[in-house]
Amino acid sequence: MAQLAGRASAHDMDLVALSVGGNRDAFGELVRRHGSGVRALLRRMGADPATADDLAQDAFLAAFEQVAEFRGEGTFAGWVKRIAARLYIRRWRRQARMSLGAEAPDEDMGVGPGEAGANARIDLDEALKGLSQVERLCVSLCYGAGLSHAEAAAALNAPLGTVKSHVKRGLDKLKGALVAEPSLSSQERVYNG
Amino acid sequence: MGDRNFEARLESAFAETPVYGDADIFVLRVNDALERNWLMRRILIGALGVTGGLIGGAQLLRSGLIDHLGAVGGAWRVAGNDLAGLPLSRIFSDLFGGGPSTATEVLWMSGAMAIIALGLFVTRAMREF
């Protein structure tokens, strides 16, 4: 029990070091800490809940395999999120649901700047639903997974300018939706899977 | 709201982790998958080890090493030598010096591989237990 309590209070990097030695319990603690964050990112990128969970699991399995390569540059959560984001992009491209270059933004789905009232609550998940899928993907990659525009463009195999345009349009739409009342955030809501 | 301010708030909003009702189930699911992967890996390593051992054993038999060892042992008995009383250098000389070169090479290779395998086993055992 003391070992478990110690693990719960251990720093991520300590758990990573134990995981490098093949300690699956330590890695399990990392999954417990960051699993929801990775799942949330994938859902925000546009994956349905079941797909998001499958990909999050795959991302953690890949992270365990490659954990020795994690040198502590950035956070462990950020590192796993980037792995998960790339897995999602790979699946998304394979399914060829849309073409980045050809896609016209879904303007009618968007929430224009100022459209939401000043007192509207911050609800990132709801706000992201107002973006087209490719805008959602680009914004999530850059602000959720921590990729630069260039990295996102490389991951998506799309021109840098195209990605920047999608991010810009996505941000414009989100600005209208994400306003005021920072205390009301998605963190306080309990999801049912 | 300035762009930078908004982008910082957006990053913060992305960094917030929702609380999922099935978070514990997800952790168990990943742990099960890790365990399954590890089990499969052990089975694969074991199967490869057995296959390698069988091939190595077959090579030893085919090399005529057993006959060579028997011949050396017989020669010692005829000469009236007591094995325990012989110097090690003599035993090695008889074993590796007089036989066919292929048998000698196989013996050395087998010994080296056995040492490597033992080292791998020990390091793996130390990590596991």
Is the pTM for the entire model greater than 0.80? no
Domain A101-188 falls under CATH 1.10.10.10:
yes
Same domain, yes or no: B91 and B125: yes
Residue B117 lies in domain:
63-129
Q: Are residue B74 and residue B127 in the same domain, yes or no? A: yes
CB A130 within 8 A of CB A177: yes
| Domain A1-97 class, CATH top level | mainly alpha
Average pLDDT score over chain B: 75
Q: What is the number of helices (H) and of strands (E) in chain B?
A: 5, 1
The answer for B 43-82 residues in CB contact with A (under 8 A) is none
Regions of chain A where pLDDT drops below 50: 1-2, 4, 102-121, 180-190, 192-193
Query: Which residues in chain A have Cβ-Cβ distances shorter than 8 Å to B30?
Result: 28, 31, 35, 57, 60-61
- The interface predicted TM-score (ipTM) is 0.72
Q: How far apart are CA A178 and CA A119, in angstroms?
A: 10
Q: What is the pLDDT of residue A120?
A: 37
Residue B69 φ then ψ, to 5°: -60, -40
- Residues B42 and B73 grouped into a single domain: no
Quick check: B29 and A28 CB within 8 A? no
| Cβ proximity of A99 and A134 under 8 Å | no
Is B104 contained in some domain?
yes
Residue at B128 is within a domain: yes
Per domain, the residue ranges of chain A are 1-97, 101-188
Contact B29 A57 (CB under 8 A): yes
Tell me the two tokens of residue B72. Answer: 């050396």
- Record: contact B6-A32, CB cut-off 8 A: no
Nearest CA in chain B to A77: B15
Whether residues B48 and B68 share a domain: the answer is: no
- Determine contact: A76 vs chain B, CB below 8 A: no
* A176 touches B at CB < 8 Å: no
* B86 and B41 assigned to the same domain: no
Number of domains into which chain B is organized? 2
Measured distance CA(A120)–CA(A184) in Å, rounded:
10
Q: What is the pLDDT of residues A83-139, one digit of tens each?
A: 999 999 989 888 765 555 544 444 433 333 333 333 333 588 888 888 998 999 999
Q: Which two tokens stand for residue A26?
A: 């330590």
- Closest partner residue to B127 (CB to CB) among A22, A40, A186 is A22
- B3 CB neighbours in chain A (<8 A) are 171
Q: Which residues of A touch B11 (CB under 8 A)?
A: 143
Using an 8 Å CB-CB cutoff, list chain A residues near B18: 36, 40, 125, 186-187, 189-191
Residues B38 and B81 in one domain: no
- In A, minimum Cα distance to B21 occurs at A192
Same domain, B38 and B77: no
Residue B120 forms part of a structural domain = yes
User: B129 and chain A: CB distance < 8 Å anywhere?
Assistant: no
**From the centroid of its chain, how far is CA B16?**
45
User: How far does B8 lie from chain A, in Å, by closest CA?
Assistant: 9
Whether B31 sits inside 8 A of A24 (CB atoms) is: yes
Do B42 and B82 lie in a common domain?
Answer: no
Is residue B79 situated within a structural domain? yes
Residues B73-104 pLDDT 10s: 676 666 666 666 666 666 666 665 555 555 66
